[in-house]
């Protein structure tokens, strides 16, 4: 279903003069930041743009039509040059005292959006007057109040188009709870969030390695695992990897604009290479040998199993090679290299899918 951005004109896109009428070209002055940030919203986000404006007495002697449409056409042409195109322009001509249903906050102008294939609950009305906030409520949409005062019901109060852009930017976050007869795991990731990690798997070494992923991938990561450690650490390590892969996959969404590919790094006597492709197809190669049975409280035989599980649940090509003398350094180098590869691959570099197939 389509999502809408219903945007007021005067006071939101352009500055409103003292007499409340943009009836001359010299009165046309754009709000700062609207070209840059509304332009990015139009290009990067999946919203249909609607302009909705009350123009008191348009077409009467107090506000002749010809004085309105000259500046209006220039406004639309200028915005279009910045990639900002409105699919619909809704103009109410009445006076406030007439109390017509077409005048905001009435919904009379929005009939086709009330009955059509539109997701109004995830749509927004952006405007500088309380009537715009009331319109949002009447439509069943959310309000962004282009004003720094009043209206507790607005989800955002700001006169900065940059702040509005950041607010509307899709959040690349996910929380996955995976429960089996062997484990109960909750993993939360925020690909663009803080790197403060909260990790408790019950396996000290795995906690340490997951902290490396969070810090070096630059992501927010929270992991909680209740597992059958009275048997051994196998199920907990495996299921944490599966759940982490699922959370990363969910947070990536449609993967628009990601780098997709990703890293080699040294760590004292060791070196690790991790090749990663978030292309949607799982494939795993492991070329690393360990001489010790355990590092801390985790069996080294679980390391390839851990990364294979991530590759499978994330839907990624993952090739890992490592060599060196110190087993702890070797394992840590692998986790850090994976994190850095992930950091490259999830970084958003634009809006296009990194594929010629149209989907990954």
d(CA 253, CA 53): 34
In order of 8, 99, 167, 298, the CA distances from 85 in angstroms are 14, 30, 21, 57
d(CA 185, CA 163): 35
For the CA atoms of 231, 236, 239, 241, what is the dihedral angle to 10 degrees?
Answer: -140
CB distance 314 to 321 below 8 Å: no
8 has catalytic annotation: yes
d(CA 69, CA 40): 26
Which two three-digit tokens encode residue 345? Answer: 């691959």
d(CA 138, CA 114): 10
- 200, 177, 203: which is closest to 188 by C-alpha? 177
d(CA 332, CA 326): 10
In 32-64, where does DSSP find H-type helix?
39-44
In order of 5, 206, 318, the CA distances from 302 in angstroms are 49, 10, 16
Which residue reads 């599966």 in tokens? 242
19 has catalytic annotation: no
Alpha-carbon torsion (17, 23, 27, 30), positive or negative? positive
Give catalytic residues, as residue numbers. 8, 10
């Amino acid at each position: 279903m389509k999502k809408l951005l219903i945007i007021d004109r005067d006071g939101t896109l352009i500055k409103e003069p003292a007499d409340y009428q943009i009836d001359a070209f010299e009165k046309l002055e754009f709000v700062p930041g609207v070209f840059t940030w509304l332009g990015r919203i139009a290009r990067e986000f999946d919203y249909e743009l609607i302009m909705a404006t009350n123009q008191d007495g348009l077409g009467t002697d107090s506000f002749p039509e010809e004085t309105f449409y000259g500046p209006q056409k220039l406004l639309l042409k200028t915005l279009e040059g910045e990639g900002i195109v409105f699919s619909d322009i809704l103009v109410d001509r009445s006076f406030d005292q007439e109390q017509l249903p077409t005048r905001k906050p009435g919904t009379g102008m929005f009939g086709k959006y009330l009955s059509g294939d539109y997701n109004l609950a995830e749509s927004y009305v952006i405007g500088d007057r309380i009537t715009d906030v009331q319109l949002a409520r009447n439509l069943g949409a959310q309000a962004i109040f282009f004003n720094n005062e009043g209206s507790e019901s607005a989800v955002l109060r700001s006169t900065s188009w940059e702040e509005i852009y950041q607010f509307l930017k899709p959040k690349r976050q996910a929380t996955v709870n995976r429960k089996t007869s062997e484990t109960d795991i909750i993993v939360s990731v925020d690909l663009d969030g803080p790197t403060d990690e909260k990790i408790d798997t019950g396996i000290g070494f795995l906690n340490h390695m997951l902290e490396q992923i969070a810090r070096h991938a630059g992501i927010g990561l929270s992991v909680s695992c209740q597992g059958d450690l009275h048997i051994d650490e196998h199920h907990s390590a495996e299921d944490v990897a599966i759940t982490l892969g699922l959370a990363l996959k969910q947070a990536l969404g449609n993967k628009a604009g990601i780098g997709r590919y990703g890293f080699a790094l040294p760590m004292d006597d060791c070196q690790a290479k991790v090749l990663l492709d978030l292309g949607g197809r799982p494939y795993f190669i492991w070329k690393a040998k360990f001489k010790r049975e355990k590092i801390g409280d985790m069996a080294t035989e679980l390391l390839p199993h851990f990364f294979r599980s991530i590759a499978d649940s994330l839907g990624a090509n993952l090739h890992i090679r490592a060599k060196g003398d110190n087993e702890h350094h070797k394992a840590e180098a692998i986790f850090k290299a994976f994190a850095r590869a992930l950091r490259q691959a999830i970084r958003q570099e634009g809006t296009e899918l990194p594929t010629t197939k149209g989907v990954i």
